[in-house]
Amino acid sequence: MNLDGANILVTGGTGSFGNEFVARLLAEHNPERVIVFSRDELKQFQMRQKFPVADFPKLRMFLGDVRDKERLFRIMDGVDIVVHAAALKQIPAAELNPLEAIKTNIIGAANIVDAALERKVSKVIGLSTDKAANPVNLYGATKLCSDKLLVAANGTGLHDTQFSIVRYGNVVGSRGSVIPYFLAQRSTGTLTITDSRMTRFLITLKRSVDFVLDCLDIMLGGEIFVSKIPSATVTQLATVIAPECEQQFIGIRPGEKLHEMMISEDDARMTIEFDRHYVIQPTHSFWNPKDFLEGHSGVSCPEDFRYSSDKNDWWLTDEEVSALVETVKTGHGEFIPPLATEPKFIVGG
């Protein structure tokens, strides 16, 4: 997508995704402004050390919270594109502090919608999660609500603002993800695993940024874009990272799933498959079901289709996991496993 001359706001811009996304914008595009909006002054200070004012005059950083609607109205003045990445996403913390997660993830999303419509923003894309599909924990439930708010905002008819969602699985190497957790435990001689059957989707930071940029380019408003990414078992990750360590199974945590799901059978009838991603279309009256079929190479999914980490047809080999772990350990490079190019349905049970 051509972002030259655009004014781009990234909420939660000091997080793992935000740091990578902003770096890409500044290195590969020529935006008018890139605005980082977040509430943590320490993370903003640390990020500014990476992008000093003298070298990156187009980067602006503002403190604030998506819970504060008036602050969002001010920050969105003149903004063309919003990438909404701000969220409370630690599952145990959300379970213990439910109202705080609701205020940030749901009320914050509603504030984003109101401010974007008021300021006549061109495009808003929200970052979702696999946990929003058939949620079993509060974090997933709040993100489902957030997704619904952004999708429904397309039906206001007030302005031409487009709202869409991107959904993907665990970002490798991000704060709180499993690979850094296992690497930190390796010296103890024991890796703690919740359940031996557990599987996870895995995506790299680079690919998550690629996906958001691609979706900004093709979005019409109302879609949930779901990236095709590989799966791995958690025991496979542990064995590759520390084959010499004992694996201790400690039981599944509150609100945790054995397998991750990004598209459920209930969404299948509204889902279109493409070579590299899926599109879940909304059922709202403003949406034309032909929008993503005419002129595109997609095919409708069968009604019993389900896209989950245990039914995936794309699995990482031990060698690919090892290469992935090295990028986390060194902090350099970007391992991207080969991507299947032919549409394949994952049907199932």
Residue 103 annotated to the active site: no
Helix (H) or strand (E) holding 151, with range, is: helix 138-152
What's the mean pLDDT in 74-99? 95
pTM exceeding 0.85 = yes
How much is the average pLDDT of 142-170? 92
Residue 189 has pLDDT above 60, yes or no: yes
The whole-number average pLDDT for the span 36-43 is 97
Burial class of 311 by CB neighbour count within 10 A (0 to 12, 13 to 18, 19+): middle
pLDDT value for 176: 66
Please, what is the Cα angle at 208 between 218 and 306, to 5 degrees?
80
pLDDT of residue 343: 36
* Domain membership flag for residue 89: yes
Instruction: Report pLDDT for 53.
Output: 96
Model confidence over 261-270: pLDDT tens digits?
999 999 999 9
Quote the CA–CA distance of 80 and 162 in Å, as a whole number.
Answer: 11
Whether 327 shows a pLDDT value over 60: the answer reads yes
Does the pLDDT of residue 271 top 80, yes or no?
yes
82 inside domain: yes
User: Residue 210 falls within a domain, yes or no?
Assistant: yes
Q: Residue 275: inside a domain, yes or no?
A: yes
Question: Would you say residue 293 lies in a domain?
Answer: yes
CATH code at position 61: 3.40.50.720
Q: Which of 43, 123, 131, 228 is catalytic?
A: 131
What are the DSSP E strand ranges found in the chain? 7-11, 33-38, 59-63, 81-84, 123-127, 162-167, 170-171, 190-193, 199-203, 224-227, 231-233, 246-249, 261-263, 271-273, 277-280, 299-300, 307-308
- Tell me whether residue 181 is in a domain: no
Collapsing DSSP to helix, strand or coil, 120 comes out as coil
Residue 191 scores a pLDDT above 80? yes
Q: Does residue 41 form part of some domain?
A: yes
Q: Does 344 score more than 50 pLDDT? A: no
Structural domain of 278: 7-170+203-228+263-308
Map tokens 């749901």 to a residue: 106
Q: How many domains in the chain?
A: 1
Distance CA(347)–CA(302), nearest Å, equals 8
pLDDT of 38 > 60? The answer is yes
* Residue 19 clears pLDDT 70, i.e. is over it: yes
Kindly state whether residue 342 falls inside one of the protein's structural domains: no
Mean pLDDT of 74-103: 95
22-26, 93-97, 292-296, 308-312: lowest mean pLDDT where? 292-296
Does residue 348 register a pLDDT over 50?
Answer: no
